[in-house]
Amino acid sequence: MFYIRCPYTNEYHSEEEFKPCGQAQIRRADSPVSTSDEQWGDYLFFRDNIRGVHHEMWLHLPTRRYFNVTRHTVTNEILETWRMGEEPRYQSDGRGGVIDTRADNDSEEVA
């Protein structure tokens, strides 16, 4: 059972109050007329399906607000939740591990 923090209200609620809506930050393809079949198919059907740190969109059903979740798809650990339009702090390193973008920035500043 996930216990998810809504980034708008800062309240934690159980998974059943939410609906998963698939991969986050998918940019809508331009007009289907001017887009190639390849690009349109990629937009509609092809997903990253990450084994590891995954960015995904969720909907809080009672308040009808969409937000994003960074979750590890093997351990199910939720690393952060973030509002629409914001950028995630944690990224996948492509090998199942986590990259903390802010930690990198901090160390650079110190250096």
Partner 1 sequence: MERYSGFGLVRHALSHHEQWQRMWRNPTPKRHYDVIIVGGGGHGLATAWYLAREHGVTNVAVIEKGWLGGGNTARNTTIVRSNYLFDESARLYEHALKLWEGLSQDINYNVMFSQRGVLNVAHTMQDVRDTRRRVNANRLNGIDSDYLDADGVKHLVPAMDCLENARYPVLGASFQPRAGVARHDAVAWGYARAADSRGVDLLQNTEVTGFLIENGEVKGVETTSGEIRAGRVGVVTAGNSSTMARMAGFNLPVESHPLQALVSEPLKPVIDTVIMSNQVHGYISQSDKGDLVIGAGVDGYVGYGQRGSYPIIEHVIQAIVEMFPSLSRVRMNRQWGGVVDTTPDASPIISTTPVKGLFFNCGWGTGGFKATPGSGHIFAWTLAKGRPHPIAEPYSMQRFHTGALVDEHGAAAVAH
Q: Which of residues 18-37 bind partner 1 (CB under 8 A)?
A: 19-20, 22-23, 37
Q: Exactly one of 27, 38, 62, 111 binds partner 1 (CB under 8 A); which one? A: 38
The angle at the Cα of 104, spanning 101 to 105, to the nearest 5 degrees, equals 90
Kindly tell me the number of DSSP H helices and DSSP E strands found in the chain: 2, 8
* Piece of the chain touching partner 1 by CB under 8 A; list 12-20, 60-68, 85-93, 97-105: 12-20
Distance from C-alpha of 11 to C-alpha of 15, rounded to nearest angstrom: 13
Q: Is 49 in the site for partner 1 (CB under 8 A)?
A: yes
75 binds partner 1 (CB under 8 A): yes
The CB-of-102 to partner 1 minimum distance in angstroms stands at 24
Q: If you search the block for the tokens 């390849």, which residue do you land on?
A: 38
